[in-house]
Amino acid sequence: MQTKKKITITIDEETCSAVDRATRELKMPRSRLAQEALSLWLKQQTEHLMAQGYREMAEEDRRFSEMTLEAQREIQR
């Protein structure tokens, strides 16, 4: 069984009203909606960081390829 932790957050009234409407429409408790929203946000942040890392790796690979290509050209002269 997964252990649950209780947290307290402060949000603006407009967001709170929107959350309350969503929980009524979805027939789910606030805590479940908050958990799903936070889980989604964490997943998106992880995906963003991974994509950023892949872009940086691709740039590093491109620079390395250019450097080795230039070295090969110098050797062939």
What pLDDT is stored for residue 1 in this prediction? 64
* Mean pLDDT per 10-residue interval, the chain, length 77 residues: 88 97 97 96 96 94 89 83
In 3D space, the residue among 4, 24, 6 whose CA is nearest the CA of residue 16 turns out to be: 24
Cα separation, 18 vs 30, in Å, equals 11
In 3D space, the residue among 44, 43, 47 whose CA is nearest the CA of residue 55 turns out to be: 47
Cα separation, 50 vs 21, in Å, equals 34
What pLDDT is stored for residue 21 in this prediction? 97
Query: Can you read off the two tokens belonging to residue 58?
Result: 């691709």
What pLDDT is stored for residue 74 in this prediction? 82
Cβ atoms 23, 30 nearer than 8 A: yes
